[in-house]
Amino acid sequence: VTQCFKTIPHKCRAVILTGNGKSFSAGADITWMKKMANYTHEENVTDASKLFDMFYQIKSTPVPVIARVNGAAIGGGSGLVAACDMAFSANTSTFGFTEVKLGLVPAVISAFVLPKIGSTNSSRYFLTGERFDAAEAYRIGLINGIYNDISTLDSTINNI
């Protein structure tokens, strides 16, 4: 993903980031996260830096990046939504910063989430790990619009 966003041609009008299947992004691979528990401090820093670079490349892309949220956006998936310039969602999508339920802090994505939803909402969702629906994601500013069906969602994005 990082390399793709580093090489987006300037003639491109926009980038649409979406999931393939029922989820937008369910976040990090749990097996990978368990392996990280055995990483050295230096390995963890390197890994976190690579992850931050991916989010940073999305945020700093010279063309608009639009999240098309077609399902669950959990953990880093909600971080991806926050890194985008705009986000539009199916009304059935769910969101959450659930890292705390794994004993982790959503530190890497916080740089992108805090400016998007503010410190009050970040504190609540980072500390509780509770999941929330598209209406709440809209209310707190994580997404810009909610659509009852995928065809209307796609039509809206295509008209931007």
C-alpha–C-alpha distance, residues 69 and 71, integer Å: 6
Catalytic site residue from 42, 43, 99, 130: 99
Indicate the length of the chain as a whole number: 160
pLDDT in tens, 13-46: 999 999 998 899 987 777 777 777 788 999 989 9
Active site residue 136: no
Q: What is the pLDDT of residues 90-111, one digit of tens each?
A: 999 999 999 898 888 888 999 9
- The proportion of the chain whose per-residue pLDDT surpasses 90, expressed as a percent, equals 73
Tell me how crowded residue 121 is: count the other CB atoms within 10 A of its CB: 19
Global pTM value: 0.93
